[in-house]
Chains A and B, each alone.
Chain A
Amino acid sequence: QKEVEQNSGPLSVPEGAIASLNCTYSDRGSQSFFWYRQYSGKSPELIMFIYSNGDKEDGRFTAQLNKASQYVSLLIRDSQPSDSATYLCAVNTGNQFYFGTGTSLTVIP
């Protein structure tokens, strides 16, 4: 079992819709959780981080964390074509930063 699991997609949503990206992790001691966006041929860039159970909102993005279920999600509201990218879930276990394989998102105009 990998440390971080993501549905690789591809996920397609129409412009203006909500995109929902999910991630599970295996280490219960994990301390912080990150969502990175990676455009094709580019390096990952941080979208959001979350440390505590519950929701964290930043503009059109909402991160949700459920430590009991070992589950992290990212919601993108009012999706735009510029949101089309691969979204990487990353987990800091205190000993290591682990990344998922990424979910490819396409927003259709």
Chain B
Amino acid sequence: GAGVSQSPRYKVAKRGQDVALRCDPISGHVSLFWYQQALGQGPEFLTYFQNEAQLDKSGLPSDRFFAERPEGSVSTLKIQRTQQEDSAVYLCASSRERLNTGELFFGEGSRLTVL
């Protein structure tokens, strides 16, 4: 596609439910990032993939968060047993280059609300 595509755009979950957020990066982009953005805050790093390899997951806030990119293109961020503090916009970004060069192109985000 022409840009980074994320789905669903909006998700309401009851506390304790599992959710899965999908990111379809720009075709051919090597790097893929997940960020969490709370209201009024900047994006906070969650995890980074270079092709199918998850090179950095240091930003994942707990073991309830899991991300994968099995074929080096589409990525899924899964949150198990959601909590209210998980409510945020989850942004996916991709880059043509490896980490140390290039700009990030963002998707529209998935807004998660946990009740």
Q: Are A42 and B108 in contact (CB under 8 A)?
A: yes
How near does chain B come to A18, taking the closest CB pair, in angstroms? 24
Contact of A43 among B41, B45, B106 (CB under 8 A): B106
A13 to B45, CA, bound (A): 31
Contact residues of B between 73 and 91, Cβ < 8 Å to A? 91
How near does chain A come to B11, taking the closest CB pair, in angstroms? 16
Q: Does B28 contact A (CB under 8 A)?
A: no
Q: Which residues of B contact A94 (CB under 8 A)?
A: 99-100
Contact of B101 among A6, A32, A43, A45 (CB under 8 A): A32
Q: Are A100 and B108 in contact (CB under 8 A)?
A: no
A44 to B42, CA, bound (A): 10
Q: Are B42 and A96 in contact (CB under 8 A)?
A: no
Q: Which residue of A lies closest to B45 (CB)?
A: A96
Q: Does A53 contact B (CB under 8 A)?
A: no
Number of chain A residues whose Cβ lies closer than 8 Å to a Cβ of chain B: 23
How near does chain A come to B95, taking the closest CB pair, in angstroms? 9
**Prevailing SS type, chain A contact patch:** strand
Q: Are A92 and B99 in contact (CB under 8 A)?
A: yes
Query: Known: A96-B56, A97-B45, A101-B42. Is A43-B107 also a contact (CB below 8 A)?
Result: yes
Contact of A90 among B41, B56, B99, B104 (CB under 8 A): B104
Q: Does B48 contact A (CB under 8 A)?
A: yes
Q: Are B100 and A92 in contact (CB under 8 A)?
A: yes
Q: Does B65 contact A (CB under 8 A)?
A: no
Q: Does B18 contact A (CB under 8 A)?
A: no
Residue among A6, A31, A32, A43 having the largest count of chain B Cβ atoms under 10 Å: A43
How near does chain B come to A7, taking the closest CB pair, in angstroms? 13
The 4 tightest CB contacts between A and B, nearest first, are: A43-B106, A99-B42, A101-B42, A94-B100
